[in-house]
Structure formats: C-alpha cells, structure tokens
Structure 1
Amino acid sequence: MAERLTTVAGVRAVVLGGSRARGTHRPDSDWDLGLYYRGAPDLAALTALASAFQGSTVEVAGPGGWGPWVNGGAWLRVDGAPVDWILRDLDRVEAVWSACRQGRYEVGVQPGHPLGFWSPAYPGEVALGRVLSDPSGELTALQQETSGYPEPLRAALADAAWEAEFSIDAARKSASAGDRLHVSLCLSRAFGILVQSLHAHHRTWCLNEKGALAAAAALPETPAFFAERVGAALRGLDAAAVETAAAVVRDVREVLRAKPA
C-alpha cells in the first residue's frame, strides 16, 4: 500500500505511525499511515486508490478537510482491519521542525485533540514513525534529524509549566462557585501541560493526549502516584480536588527545576 501511495502525484513518503510503529498496539489497533506530500496531492488518484484497497467507495478529505493541524485523509477497512490515512504537508512539517529547533512551538485548536494540537507533534511523528516508502529519501533524512531532541524546545516546554499554576488559580475561583465544567477544563489543561513539560524535560516526544498520562507517570523522577493523584483530582472537581491538583503541580515543577539527565 505504501509503495503504491508514493506513486500518487504529490505524495513523497509514507510512514507507519501510532501504536503499531512504537510496538504498543493491541490486536484491534488501527494501522495509521502518514502520507507526507508537497504541494497539492492528487485527491482523485488517492480516492481511486483508497476505494480499490477497500473494495468500496471511500471519501478522502483533502488538505484542511479535517482541521488546521490534522490535515486530512481517509478511514479505510482493508481485509477487516481499520487503516487510517493521515495527510501531512511536508513543507509545513519542516517549518515546524525549524521553529522547534529555535524553541518555538504552537498549540492550535483541532478536532480530536481536546487539549489542543501541540506543534512539536509533527517532528515527533517523524522521529517515532517507521518509514515504509520514501523514494527520494527526504523523509528518512528528516527522521535522522529529529532523532535528537532540541535543547531550546526542551527548555521552552519545561518552562511552559508556569501556565499549570495559572490554571489551578482559575480553578480555585470556580470551585467555590460550584462551576464543575470550568474546574474540569482548568484541571485538564493544567495536567496536559505538565505531561508535555515532563516529556520535554526528558527529551521525549509527546504526540497527543491519548496514553500521555501513563507515559508521563513512567518517566524517571516523575512524582510518586502522579497518575493516581491526577485521577483523584479529575474525579473530585471540588475545592479539595483543586488543592490536590495544586500539590501535583508543585511537585512536578520541582522536578522540572532540576537539571535534566
């Protein structure tokens, strides 16, 4: 499939991503294929190819069809297995990688990413993916670059933990008013930032929210019972829960102040 995809005009490389690339998949996990393109990919050709693989009509969303960051693609079932095609603009990925090397990143609104799409996920996907087809070798070269986590990005994402404290302060005011929706959003935002900061502290790519809490809890020096304390705070959503969250934030920020290994 990957080899045929790279014969489509505009598609430069195909990468296996997600849990199957990292070896953490379950038997029913999706097969996630990143389709890296330049310019405008031939949507008609992609649609015809997707429909041929599935054996029935498939709709392929073009660039921007799935939002500003998860660019577009298609959901297929091939021999009973779920296969996701996810478009990635290679020019944009390279631009984000350049910004990351300078310690700059963005967090954008994106359907399917309740805590926002953190732009370092782009180079992270390249770094952690498995290149299946890359006729020109350009994505393989980019993967070699992204194997090293940039120090400016590490420092910037570790410093971002200040916002977690800000979110806790906002949650305190809403907890006293019984505004559980706002409290839940503030606490989720705070914990999401801490997860990003902890990953960056250890120069480890964090791609999205799914599984990120457990992954952060398993990192060296993460405060004891991190995931359990986060879970307790998110279940409570009251004044006591906010103070539990505040203690978690303080403990993590203490870890982040230490020099990374």
Structure 2
Amino acid sequence: MHEVIKDMADRLAGVPGVRGVMLGGSRARGEHRPESDWDLGVYYRGPLDLAALGALAGPDVEVAGPGGWGPWVNGGAWLRVDGVAVDWILRDLDRVERVWQDCREGRYEVGVQPGHPLGFWSPCYPGEVALGQVLADPAGELAALRTSVAAYPEPLRKALLAGAWEAEFLAAGAAKGAARADALYVSLCLSRAFGILVQALYAADRRWCLNEKGALAAADLLPSAPPAFGERVRTLLGAPGTTPDSLTATVTEARTLIEETRAGLV
C-alpha cells in the first residue's frame, strides 16, 4: 500500500499549483491501526488546477476546492484505494508559512472549523509539518519548512501557557449557568476549558497538539499534568448533572482541577 501512496503523491505533485505532498495523521507518527486512513496533505501555492486534481481522483470522487470544507481545513477529497480510506487535505503553503511566522513570534488563532468542536488552533499547521513525512517535494520547499519547524518556538509556548487563564474564566461562567440548571452551557464551558488546558499541557512539554482526537489521553501522560488528569476530566464531562446542585458540584470540582493544572504549568 505504501508504494501506491508514494505513486499517488508523486502524481499529485505534478498537478499545476501543487508544491508537495506530506503523509500526516497516525500513519506518519507510527501510531496507526491496520484500518487507519492515509492522510495526504496536498500543499499548494496560488491557483490550483482543480480539474487536474479531479481527473487524478477519478470520476466518482468529488474534489472540494480551497474553502470548500471551511476556512482552515481548506478542502480536498475522500478516496478509497484497495478498500482503504485515503484523504487528500489541501493546505495553502503561503498561509502555512505565515502562520508559522506568527507562531515563532508568539501569536496564534483559534478559528471555527467544521469537524473541530474545540476550534481549529493555528499551530496545527506547523505541527502537521513537524510530525508529518514528506512524500513528494520537487523543489524542496516542504523539506526546508520541516527543518524550520523542528524546534518548538518558545514564544508560542509562553503564549499558550498564558492563554490557560481562559479556563478559569469559563469555569466562572459555568458556575452561573449551573445555578440556572443550564446543562448545555455548563458542558460547553467545561469542555472548552479542559480543551484549553490540554493545549497548554502540550505546549508545556513542547509538543504539537494537532486536534482534539486522542488529545486528552496523550495529555494525561505529560509530565505537567496533575494526578489522574484524564480520569477526572472524563468523569466531570461524562456526567455533569442536571440540577443546580449537581451541576454546581461538578463545576466546583472542575475549578479545583483547573487550579491544579495551571499551578503545574511552568
């Protein structure tokens, strides 16, 4: 299968506008299962020949152009090769490089993106390059970028650690919602608060957090995480309650966990 994917990457790199292709996801990190998807980041600059991409994908595959899947996950296509899912994910290389420069200077964004319930965190862009494998790179642009992102930027680390203050702010809002038995609002506040803490825990260990999938389990193993961090988060989110008393008890425990976690972020 790897030979098929490499050949596909080479053909993708020949499409006008495409600058290179990277293998991402669990297969790039060696954490995949036999049934795991093959995620191919298709990096382009300027106009992209969508007709050529469509011809390469085949007549039964719809290729979504830039912006077709949302503002951050630009577009792409879902294919099946020998019964295995292969995902093409478009990445605007100019934008990736701009985001990387922002990260180096301690700036990041969190944008709304379908499929990312906690938002799309812009450091995902350089993180994908850092953790991915270059499959096709005719001009050496991806290899050069991958070398550049090898070291986690300290300004970004400081910014993500500083941003953990929002977790307590959200918990304070959740406390008001708990008093009104507003279970949806409480759950949303706490989910985002814990998501922010996960991002901060990754940053504390100078690790790239690419998305929400599996992030809690991985963060639970990081050295800055408080004892039983993952188990406590799962318990609180799994049954937050329905009454003012039960929801308030959940928020109280959540605030204790938030305080412990922030205290360990150094």
* Structure 1 position 236, deviation (Å): 2.7
Instruction: Report percent identity of matched pairs.
Output: 68
* Structure 1 position 22, deviation (Å): 0.5
Q: Corresponding residue for 1:17?
A: 24
- Is 1:98 matched with 2:98? no
**TM, length-normalised to structure 2:** 0.94
Q: Corresponding residue for 1:89?
A: 92
Q: Corresponding residue for 1:41?
A: 48
1:32 to 36, 39, 46: 39
Q: Corresponding residue for 2:261?
A: 252
What pairs with 1:153-168 in structure 2 (closer than 5 Å)? 153-168=156-171
Q: Corresponding residue for 2:250?
A: 241
2:230 to 219, 223, 227: 227
Structure 1 unpaired stretches of 5+: none
Q: CA RMSD in A?
A: 0.7
Q: Corresponding residue for 1:123?
A: 126
CA distance in 1, matches of 2:230, 2:47: 43
How far does the alpha carbon of each residue in 1:215-235 deviate from its partner, in whole angstroms, 9 at most, with x for none?
A: 111111311100110011112
Q: After TM superposition, which residue ranges in structure 1, 4 or more long, deviate above 2 angstroms?
A: none
Aligned residue for 1:114, secondary structure, equals coil
Tell me if the contact between 2:201 and 2:224 (Cα under 8 Å) persists in the aligned partners.
Answer: no
* Structure 1 position 159, deviation (Å): 0.5
Tell me if the contact between 2:174 and 2:251 (Cα under 8 Å) persists in the aligned partners.
Answer: yes
Q: What is the aligned length?
A: 253
Aligned residue for 1:115, secondary structure, equals coil
**TM, length-normalised to structure 1:** 0.96
How far does the alpha carbon of each residue in 1:95-152 deviate from its partner, in whole angstroms, 9 at most, with x for none?
A: 0000000000100000000000000000000000010010100110100111100010
Q: Corresponding residue for 2:244?
A: none
Q: Corresponding residue for 1:7?
A: 14
Q: Corresponding residue for 2:192?
A: 189
Q: Corresponding residue for 2:62?
A: 59
Q: Corresponding residue for 2:180?
A: 177
Structure 2 letter corresponding to 1:159:
A
Q: Corresponding residue for 1:108?
A: 111
- Is 1:77 matched with 2:80? yes
Structure 1 letter corresponding to 2:12:
L
* Structure 1 position 39, deviation (Å): 0.4
- Is 1:206 matched with 2:215? no
Q: Is the deviation greater in 217-226 or in 121-130?
A: 217-226
Aligned residue for 1:219, secondary structure, equals coil
Structure 2 unpaired stretches of 5+: 1-7, 241-246
Aligned residue for 2:67, secondary structure, equals coil
